[in-house]
Every structure is written in structure tokens, then in C-alpha cells.
Structure 1
Amino acid sequence: MRKILSILAVATIGISSSSSVIACQYMDKNYTVPEINNDLYTTVFHQQNPTQGMLNDIQGGFFDEETQEWHVYFLQNSDGLFDKYGYNHGKGGSVWYHATTKDWINWENHGPGVPKTIKNYNDQASGTFFEDVDNLFGLDPNYIKGQGKARTKIAVTTNYNGKGNQDIMMFYSIDGGYTFDIVKDELILENPNRGKNENFRDPYFFYDKEKELFVMYIARGEFYDVYSSKTPTEGYKKVGSIDVRYPMLECSNLFQMNVKDENGKATGEKKWVLIYGGNGNHGDGKDNLSGGTYYSTGTLDENDVFIPDSKESVKRLDFGPDYYAAKFMTKSVENTNIDSLITTGWMSNWAYTYQVPNDGRFGYMSLARNIELRENNNDYTMHTDFVDFWSENKSQGSVKTLSTSEGSFKTNEKILESNSLKGKSFKMNISLKDLSNFKDTLKLTIGDDNYKIEAKLDFVKNKITVNRKLQDKLVRGNKEFTKNRVYSADLSSLKTGEIEIYLDKTTLEFKFPDGSVYSMLKFPDNVSQEDIEVTSNSQIDMNFKYYQIG
């Protein structure tokens, strides 16, 4: 998804868009590599860049039934040394970094899976992780049909070749996803429009068993092109295009979901869902929520081209500014007949990626969420629940719930201080009672002397407004970082409600009473006390349950 950064940089700092390494007009000539600062930037229960440099797009992965762990891949450049203008004083190019987890909060880092350079191909960017259990690629020498699954794991990548060209490449592993080699010496698919439209990236790859077709959705900027072939590594022909809202379009995912009703019961209906990265600040019907993750329900035509139910049916999965380049995983090796998906996203935003406070480590992974497609009155919505890591026996490692507390509190009360709660890394549920008679705005404030985040829940106008402030102004992207973000939310019909808060060192994730999810970065000073306060002009009964994570 590097092109979106290039276009953004053209408008703000000036770059050469043909290079995979951003060449800004501005650079910090006095830049020195900062020292790692664990007190300010090391998270407790979020995966983050394991080295200095850059972590961004999540690539997905697979579930190992034998070890009961998830293998997850994300883009990483440990050679990048980025100053406050985004100028790279180091080297460009990405690997697919490999990490494993059993509970989504305790991680073991294994290093590069797909390396930066293999033979003459370097800089491996976003794509799809595909499990070839039927040996369709013919790469597992020990596979015998009818006697178990093939071990082959395929990484379908965007390859930049060190020249900024966007083409499609494939790599494979037969050792459990730890090391990868090149599938073939030639490009799988070369951009047919070089010089006219350099956008040709983020392939979403799947196999249509019924048609015996290998299919790729490729991001072209304003649309997606769809290619298919009878063989996995050659012969791809364009069979259609897809136009959906909020370009620049990137990082597509496609699943046939089993629809559930508003209570989570199966209805028997199936629906195709296209989930993708877009920019809510652009295009028809823009929501002004910044870059983010969107989805649309629809059908597939005879060529496996997605047809949206309507262009207006596009919805946002996470309403915050820092949930992008997300991937969606399931224990199934197919993308059909799916009950639910696990998703994680990159917590940052290209508008201010390099400008936020840092110690040379850029990029965090969101908490994992479980999502289901639910229908109510012919309206299809993704229902989100954070994957439980806080309950007893859910943690599978050293990071876990250390203690729990609960109680009641009043408006204008500093919850952490009043209840002698440690803070810094925790989950908190705030229960709201008797909402039927609450006709006012509830303001939730979180912060310290260095930052402040306000979330206003308007139970009359059915709006949620969130903004954040930092003590120091960012040299680039400050307007995008601090702006009010407003979206519609069904609040007035609620009788009771709950606000879920997941606060870590530099990350903050909410689930609001209407079910909407909101993710954002924050930067405390580690000196003054972070706290939470709820204010309103009307009386409301509130309880909390608190989980200290460490």
C-alpha cells in the first residue's frame, strides 16, 4: 500500500512517486537514531515493531491445529531510519515478518518469513497468505493425494523490484511458514499499464473450487481489477473491475459469510463481503473519518467479480483514524462458508506516520477482534467483539490479567485516582444504566498532561464525536491527527449500554454502546497521571469493571 503514502507525500512534502523509497523535499539534517525508550513506547499487550524501523500492513496467516497457535505476518523494514519529515536515512524495502501467538497478546517473534530480497526480486509488499493444502501448486514433494494435507504455504506479494514498479510475485514455504523461496523466476503478473497507472498492488488471492479458477483482486487506485487463470502461476487474464467508495483503494479481502440475526443466530443466508482499505476523506459520500477499513456486501458474477448490493451500502468497520491495512483470518483454508473472522489492523495513519512521538520504532498491531455478519431489517452490518484475553485462563503467556476491580462512580470523578487503580495498561468496562430516560450528551475524557482524548456520545442527535490533542504540534499531519471525527450511532434507542476501553502505552481502543469500534494512538508523558473522567449535565448511574494487564 505504499502508493497511498506517495500520493499523500506529493501533496504535503513532495516526493518522487516512482521510487519505493520516499524522497522528501524536507529532511532533518541533524537526525540521529534515537535510543529505545521502553517507558514511553513499549506496549504491554499489543504487538509492535520488534526493531527500529517500520511495521505496517498486516498480511494474515494461518492457524496450526497441532500447536494451537496462530502464525501471523506483517510488513516490516528494520533498515528504515525515518526522521520527522518521513525522510528515510536508512534503507527501503519490506519483509513479511513472522510472529506466532496463542492468545493475541503474548507473541513470539521469529524474524523475516518472506525476506526482503530473493534472487533478483526485492522489496516484498502487501498481498495474500494462502494455504495450499491440496498441492495445487505442486510444491510439496511429499504430498500424496488422499493421505493428508500438503504443507505448502504461499505468499502472494506486491513486488517493487527496487525501482518502484508494482508487480505480482509468489513465494512458498514447506517448513511451516518459517522460510520462503521463490515459486518461479519470472513475475507472476506484470502491471500492464506501467507509465499510465502505476497502481498495481495488494493482490487478494483465492481459489474457486467449483470453477477450478485461481483469482486475484488487484488494487488500481480508483478501482480493483480482477484476474483469473486455470493455473496458479501463469496465464492470468483480466475478467472485470470493481468500483467502490473511498479511493485510494487498497488491501482487499473477500469472504462468503454465513449471515446471523441481530442476536447472533444463524439465518441460513450467505453473503459475499468485500473488505478493503480506503480513504474516507475522498470520493463520493466521503465520511471525513480519514483512512480506514471499509466493507460492502454483494454477490459474485460468473467471473468471480464482486458486485456490491449498492455503492451506498459501504460501511466502515472501525471508525477511528488508526486502523488500516487490516487482514482477516479464519481457521478454514477457504474463503467460503465462513461463520466469523479474526481481524487485526495496523495502528497508524499515513497522514502522520513518521511525525508522531517515537523512539525509531514505528507501527503497532491492533488487538484482535472477532467479526460476524449480522442482518436486521435487510441491513447487513459487521458485529465486532474483541477476542477475549482478560478472562481467567485465556492468557497463554506471561502477559495476563493481574487483578480485577469493580465499583460505581459519579460524573466529574477521576475514576483511576478515586479507586486507587494503577492504570497504564488495562481493560475497563463502563456500564450505563437507565438510558431510556437519558436525553443528553455523555463526555468521556482520557489523558494526562501531554495528551487528551474526548469522546462525546450524543443520545439526542445519535452522534459520536471523538478528538485528541497533543501538547506538541506535529510538523506534518497535525490537522488530521487532532480533528473532530463525527459519525452516526444508534444511541437513543438503548435502555442500557456499555463502553469498553482497552488502554495500553501508546494505543487506545473503544467499543461504544451502539457496538461501533474506534481505534487510535496516544502518547502519554509517563510522568503525569493518566485518568478517565465521565461528565454530563444530566444524572446517570454508572458502574465499572477493571482488569489490570501486565
Structure 2
Amino acid sequence: MILVANKEQNMKKQEITSIEKYRPVYHYTPKKNWMNDPNGMVYYDGEYHLCYQHDSNDIIFSDMSWGHAISTDLVQWEECAKAIVPDNDGLGMIFSGSAVVDKNNCAGFGVNTLVAFYTSTKPRQQQSMAYSIDRGRTWIKYIENPIIKNEEWDSIPDDFRDPKVIWHKDSQKWIMSLAVKDHIEFWSSCNLKDWTKDSEFGQGVGSHGGVWECPDFIELSVDNDQTNKKWVLLVSINPGGPNGGSATQYFVGEFKDVDGQMTYISSQKDEKWIDYGTDNYAGVTWSNVENKAIAIGWMSNWDYADKVPTNNWRGAMTIPRELELKNIEGEISITSKPAFALKQIIGAAIATIDDASINSNINVGEELSSSRIKVKMDICDIKDVGIEIGNSKGEHVKIGYNKLDTYFYVDRSNSGENSFKSGFAKLHKAKTNRNLESLDMEIFIDKSSVEVFFNNGERVMTEIIFPTEDFNMVKIFCDNKIEIREFDIKRISLI
């Protein structure tokens, strides 16, 4: 009987392992079912709240509500009861939105109440509100929802969603940015309940391959100069990304009163992207975080999100990232770097510069599927250089810089399982206008993803992958001589 019991236990363990094969180690995923856009992200009383689009019953996008997780450190997450769910109010599903701390009791729900804004889906997309008086543990829908109506006879299209609300100090008003089909609208309020449309931005600028979604609106200093600040508008678009499918673009500009209406103005001509990989979408920042802009995104792509080979769950979040504005050779751009909090889970080195060699494998056992690689190189006389991570089956991902044609890249053409979607297995590029003499890369590897920060986050690429066997080999490759200035691989663990 004992042998039979052990056999049954082993079979069950193998079944669970198979189901959870691609479950990330240090990226947030729900325990089960579908997840997409991050929502309702607010920091309050020492806790980061991460809500997200979640389906209660299936691993496909269907019955949307707000899932909810809480962390004190941006690393360890506790999945909580759902925050906001559909009910019999007749307003339908709970689509994406945001949350704020009402420090001055503008809405009348109490000082420091957490107030969330979301899109209701029936009979058309409209904006609604909920609030929490117990530090985000339970949420009460505002009895007079929707707060911004969208009647059939209105001129507003049905694509009217994803409210991001901020407090604008200069105007002493709350500002809501809304995605409206092919542009962003800015609305203002003094009490969070009554809203007036001020202005529009976006028609004829940026990428317009598909509908605009999930805006974010943040003020950032340029090169940490507090006297030189710009307003940054993040807009996710599907399709229309730089490497296909969905992605998040951004604009840099000014936000000011024009003839009594708060108006966004940007002279930006070129398309700019938060992430040039295919798997960082709908990313937004936490509200109520002082002196930092910390963002997180949905680590997937609408091209194949409902087809990826995970069995009882679908969807993960990127690692949290700190966004900054930098003047790079006369052009003001966003740079991204891994949030400082991640340092606490980066452990002992499993390879160092003493192990580094050119064009030959470094075997690192089984640790590479949850690790971070850092490398800095002088690359004066080369055409192509980078790092390849792989396994004994010949599956691999190449991450590098093509100096001849000046682009960074991630090539997942041979990264493992890819039959679920034609075109998934491809080389993806992030163009840069500079011919570099040195290259640094910080690469975060998890069970089913790679996130690459090139040259201190000047370009970022996030890609999901599905190797059939854990990666356990690393190779530095190039077509000529290089000098390795820094190299290490470190284990990442939540324990």
C-alpha cells in the first residue's frame, strides 16, 4: 500500500510539474486563469497594490474583473480576494483603470481613501468609480456610477476606456487621461465625481496601427534636474508595435492651460517605444510614489496571448522598472532600469569574469532559468556581438548588437516551443542611431522570459520564450576581438 501511495504521489507531482512548467519564479502570475493589463496600481501605507484584468473561470480573455495582489517590496506578492467584480448593476465587466489616494477628501469618502477608476462595458464603454476605506482590502462601488456616461446618442465612440487619474498640482485639479479609439482625451475634476472634458491629443501623431489603450501620464525631470521637467504620455497600441502586435509608445511634452483648458502639447516627430520587444504591454506606473516612476507591464502580446502553452494560467507581469528621462545626444528619451527592489533577490554568482570566454559555452548547471546576467564589453572592430543562452537540445536565444546596421536584437527563432503561433519565432530589433564602441547588457532570465536592458536602459526588449528544457549554457559570441570589462551570472531566488 505504501508503494502504491508513493507512486500516486509521484505521478501527481509530475503532473503538477508539467502543468507549471513555464510558471515564472520571480515574476507575478495569478494562481490560475487568465491575466492581462495591470490596473489600479497605488502605493499606500507601505503597500504596493497591483490589480489586473483577470478572468475567474478560464485561461482566455472573457469575464473581466480586477484581480488583486499586494506587496511591501515589489518582489514578494500575496494574491488577495478580487478587488472589483461585475454585479447586477447592469454596467457589465470591469475593464482597465487606475487608483489614487484621496489625501484631502475631495470625493467625500474620507481622508486618505483609496479611489479606483475603471471602465464599465455596458451598454457602452463608460467610466465608473469604486473606493476603499480599509487599505484596499474591500472596495465599494460608487452608487451613482457611471461618473462619465457614454450614451448611444453621444458622439463618443465605443472605444472609450482605461481611465488614468492623477493629481495635477499646478492647476489644483484631478486630471483623467482616457483612450478614445485613436487619441487621448484629458478630463478634469475637483471632486473625482464630476468631470469636464478639456482637450484631446494624438490624432495624426505617433503610431496608429490599431486602437489606442491604457494611457499613463507622468511628470519626470530630465537628467534628474528638478528645474527641467517634462510631461510624459504613455499610450499602448494594438496592433502597431515596432516588432508586430501590441506595444507601448510614449510622447514627451508640456501640459498647460490653453484658453482655460488643460492641454497636452508635444513637438515629438518620431515614434518612441518604452520596450522594443514583443512582450511588454499596457504598462503603467504606481501612483503615490514620491520621486520615482515605477512601472510594470503585462508580459505578453495580443498576437498570441490566448495561445501560449501554459495550461492552468496565462499571463505574467514584467519585473518592475524605474523610468527616467535622459538627454541622449540631444534627444530626450525614456530609459528603463530594473527597480532597485530587485537587488534583494539577486544571489550568489554562478559564473564570473574568470569563466568568460569567446565563442564557447559556459555550463552553469540548472540555474540559468532563474538568473541575471551582466556584461560590459569594448566592441570597437566588430559587426555582431552578444550573448547566447541555450540548452542541450540546441534551443537558444541570441541577444546582441549588430554594429554594422546599428540595432540591438533578441532572436528567439530557435528558443523552444513555438508551434502555437506562426511568426512567433523571429528575430526582433531595436534600432539605435548610434554606432557604439562599448556595450553593456543586463539580462533577467526566468522560466519563460528574457528581459534585456541595453546600455543602462537606453533600449529595452522583453520576450517570452518556451524552451522544452531549462537553459543551462551561456556563450559570448562575436566575429572579432572584444575586451570583456565585466561579466557575471547570478542566481535569482525568492527564498
TM-score, length basis structure 1:
0.78
Question: Deviations 1:63-119 (Å, cap 9, x if unpaired)?
Answer: 234xx332222221121244xxxxx7xxx3222222122332211111211223364
Map 1:385-534 to 2 at 5 A.
385-389=337-341, 391=343, 394-395=344-345, 401=347, 404-408=350-354, 409-415=356-362, 417=363, 419-420=364-365, 422-432=367-377, 434-435=378-379, 437-448=380-391, 449=393, 451-469=395-413, 471-475=416-420, 477-479=421-423, 481-489=424-432, 492-494=435-437, 496-513=438-455, 515-526=458-469, 529-534=471-476
Map 1:335-350 to 2 at 5 A.
339-350=291-302
Kindly indicate whether residue 136 of structure 2 is the aligned counterpart of residue 177 of structure 1: yes
- Residues 385, 125 of structure 1: CA spacing in aligned structure 2 closer, same or farther, 3 A cutoff? same
Kindly indicate whether residue 326 of structure 2 is the aligned counterpart of residue 374 of structure 1: yes
- Residues 233, 139 of structure 1: CA spacing in aligned structure 2 closer, same or farther, 3 A cutoff? same
Query: How big is the shift at 1:206?
Result: 2.6
- Residues 171, 380 of structure 1: CA spacing in aligned structure 2 closer, same or farther, 3 A cutoff? same
Query: How big is the shift at 1:365?
Result: 0.6
The one-letter code sitting in structure 2 at the alignment partner of 1:46 is H
Query: How big is the shift at 1:281?
Result: 2.9
> 1:259 pairs with 204, 222, 226, which one?
222
Find the counterpart in structure 1 of residue 25 from structure 2.
44
Aligned equivalents of 1:44, 1:193: Cα separation in 2: 46
| Residue aligned with 2:333, SS | strand
> 1:294 pairs with 249, 260, 264, which one?
249
Percent identity of paired positions between Structure 1 and Structure 2: 22
Aligned equivalents of 1:390, 1:211: Cα separation in 2: 36
- Residues 280, 539 of structure 1: CA spacing in aligned structure 2 closer, same or farther, 3 A cutoff? farther
The one-letter code sitting in structure 1 at the alignment partner of 2:368 is G
| Residue aligned with 1:40, SS | coil
Map 1:151-170 to 2 at 5 A.
151-161=112-122, 165-170=124-129
| Residue aligned with 1:217, SS | strand
Question: Deviations 1:214-255 (Å, cap 9, x if unpaired)?
Answer: 332221121122233444223x33332111412321111112
Find the counterpart in structure 2 of residue 327 from structure 1.
284
- Residues 471, 47 of structure 1: CA spacing in aligned structure 2 closer, same or farther, 3 A cutoff? closer
Question: Deviations 1:8-35 (Å, cap 9, x if unpaired)?
Answer: xxxxxxxxxxxxxxxxxxxxxxxxxx96
Find the counterpart in structure 2 of residue 16 from structure 1.
none
| Residue aligned with 2:21, SS | helix
Aligned equivalents of 1:424, 1:230: Cα separation in 2: 49
| Residue aligned with 1:410, SS | coil
Query: Is contact 2:67-2:82 (8 Å) kept?
Result: yes
- Residues 438, 103 of structure 1: CA spacing in aligned structure 2 closer, same or farther, 3 A cutoff? farther
Q: Figure out how many residues of one structure are paired with residues of the other and give that number.
A: 466
Kindly indicate whether residue 213 of structure 2 is the aligned counterpart of residue 232 of structure 1: no
Q: Show structure 1 runs of 5+ residues with no match.
A: 1-33, 83-87, 141-149, 333-337
> 1:304 pairs with 235, 250, 262, which one?
262
Aligned equivalents of 2:255, 2:387: Cα separation in 1: 43
Kindly indicate whether residue 206 of structure 2 is the aligned counterpart of residue 245 of structure 1: yes
Find the counterpart in structure 1 of residue 82 from structure 2.
112
Query: Is contact 2:418-2:466 (8 Å) kept?
Result: no
Q: Show structure 2 runs of 5+ residues with no match.
A: 1-14
Aligned equivalents of 2:115, 2:179: Cα separation in 1: 19
The one-letter code sitting in structure 1 at the alignment partner of 2:367 is K
> 2:69 pairs with 99, 118, 143, which one?
99
Question: Deviations 1:180-199 (Å, cap 9, x if unpaired)?
Answer: 01112331112256797310
| Residue aligned with 1:424, SS | helix
Query: How big is the shift at 1:524?
Result: 1.8
Query: Is contact 2:217-2:231 (8 Å) kept?
Result: yes
Aligned equivalents of 1:130, 1:424: Cα separation in 2: 36
Query: Is contact 2:213-2:236 (8 Å) kept?
Result: yes
- Over aligned residues, Cα RMSD in angstroms? 2.7
The one-letter code sitting in structure 2 at the alignment partner of 1:346 is W
- Residues 64, 168 of structure 1: CA spacing in aligned structure 2 closer, same or farther, 3 A cutoff? closer
Kindly indicate whether residue 182 of structure 2 is the aligned counterpart of residue 222 of structure 1: yes
TM-score, length basis structure 2:
0.86
Aligned equivalents of 1:328, 1:348: Cα separation in 2: 18
The one-letter code sitting in structure 2 at the alignment partner of 1:111 is A
